[in-house]
Structure 1
């Protein structure tokens, strides 16, 4: 073993190594992997079908046409699916803590967050990516938008910032498990619930909830605010125009809070005993 082999792994390097190990384990059962990946794909189609059914009865929803709503759906779903691929291992954290397995995580010379994020990684998660990619591609083709360099950058940034926001949300909700190990469903209501809320125009939920999803749980910056600029809509809540471009600082702020929360939880963790 070389001196370099003795050094602990941190950050992306540790995460990618652990993902590779889990993927090799999952690939041993190829038929099961293919079937579960297809199941993930068809499951993600259900919400899309619901949107299409709704638009067979109406022309617009809260002033948004079908291509515009599918743009919201595609950007939100793609950002969330990417975060699901990278960070949904946090869902296993409550079980790890309850069984005492998180103690093993802490004694390994590898980043604890990387271990948790990569835990039980499976390639079947990639099945969630195809539907939003196809939907977003169709929406971009059908939208009557005059594309500029700035709008193109905002479109790409919508997915990237949304991905960062959702990853931070996974970590923040995962920190709840350090306080109440049986509160996973509560945590899921924020992650999966936020995804469902941002698939549609946010103004269908009314002004109080819309403002709460902007300034309390800032999921409006996942796709709603930047999409208002791309689609040429005014803000129905009367919020200032600079918020259309506030997704990067919102993602940075929430990521910073997630990092601080994780470090605080690790620092105060006292094990579950034997």
Structure 2
């Protein structure tokens, strides 16, 4: 039954968003411009420096673009989890529990932020530019990595969204904490890990696996050794990290839902 319900639910949401075409187009353009503003910040920085964390402007844009595509896809698919605290606080999550469908899938299918496609398109344009302006030794493996890295990043970001917002089952007003992790991960991955301090690098590499979104895949595409001393293999394991992160997110969500007691509202 679920395989028939979810496509219909998502389709209804998408039709609702595109019914006002002018408004939808403006939202897409606004999303794309927001992404380009972030790119502009990087270009302004390079107007004053020649390298950032040991990387040139084209190399930084490559990592930024990979992270941008991944984050945009995750925001479009999982961004509605930001509404979870409101569902818990008002008691409407109890309605989700009463339906014979998966709770996580219901929340994620409750809305799809199609307007975020503007962010994805802007990041793809930046990615194409970066690939053309960096010296990449093209092979079937690197071509596959260009495709898998943003997709793996989307899975990693979505998993981070699930885990961060699952905290709200215990901290009903934990939205700020969740946003700090989700959007903070997006900001972290837009720059090389070398620009951050040791504790922050360790946190976003091994606790929140943000370094596997764009930094390590970017190094693999560029054929550069890790300035931090990491093995070259790390550049190719993002899909495995994405699978592991998704598995952890699923376990955390299941545990949180099982221990949900409602707010009494």
Give the TM-score, by structure 1 length: 0.91
Whether the 8 Å CA contact 1:92–1:119 is kept in 2: the answer is no
* Structure 1 Cα separation of the partners of residues 45 and 118 of structure 2: 25
Question: Which 4+ runs in 1 deviate beyond 6 A?
Answer: none
Corresponding position of 2:55: 64
Does residue 108 in structure 1 map to residue 104 in structure 2?
no
Corresponding position of 2:180: 189
* Structure 1 Cα separation of the partners of residues 129 and 113 of structure 2: 28
Residue ranges of structure 1 left out of the alignment (5+ in a row) = 1-7
* Structure 1 Cα separation of the partners of residues 178 and 52 of structure 2: 29
Give the TM-score, by structure 2 length: 0.94
Corresponding position of 1:40: 31
CA shift in 2, pair 1:66/1:173, >3 Å? same
Which SS does the other structure have where 2:101 is aligned?
Answer: coil
CA shift in 2, pair 1:208/1:122, >3 Å? closer
Instruction: Give the C-alpha shift of residue 79 in structure 1.
Output: 0.5
Instruction: Give the C-alpha shift of residue 28 in structure 1.
Output: 3.2
CA shift in 2, pair 1:259/1:14, >3 Å? farther
Does residue 211 in structure 1 map to residue 221 in structure 2?
no
The count of residues paired between Structure 1 and Structure 2 equals: 265
* Structure 1 Cα separation of the partners of residues 68 and 5 of structure 2: 27
Which SS does the other structure have where 2:112 is aligned?
Answer: coil
Whether the 8 Å CA contact 1:155–1:227 is kept in 2: the answer is no
Which residue of 2, 5, 12 corresponds with 1:9? 2
Which residue of 113, 117, 128 corresponds with 1:126? 117
Instruction: Give the C-alpha shift of residue 146 in structure 1.
Output: 1.8
Corresponding position of 2:254: 263
Whether the 8 Å CA contact 1:106–1:112 is kept in 2: the answer is yes
* Structure 1 Cα separation of the partners of residues 15 and 155 of structure 2: 26
Instruction: Give the C-alpha shift of residue 14 in structure 1.
Output: 4.2
Spell out the pairing of 1:95-174 with structure 2 (5 A cutoff). 95-174=86-165
CA shift in 2, pair 1:83/1:14, >3 Å? farther
Which SS does the other structure have where 2:228 is aligned?
Answer: coil
Whether the 8 Å CA contact 2:75–2:113 is kept in 1: the answer is no
Instruction: Give the C-alpha shift of residue 69 in structure 1.
Output: 0.8
Which SS does the other structure have where 1:129 is aligned?
Answer: helix
Q: 1:71-108: CA deviations, max 9, x gaps? A: 00110000110111111111111101111110111112
Q: 1:111-167: CA deviations, max 9, x gaps? A: 211111122334212121111010001011111122122222222221121111111
Q: CA RMSD in A?
A: 1.6
Does residue 74 in structure 1 map to residue 65 in structure 2?
yes
Instruction: Give the C-alpha shift of residue 31 in structure 1.
Output: 2.8
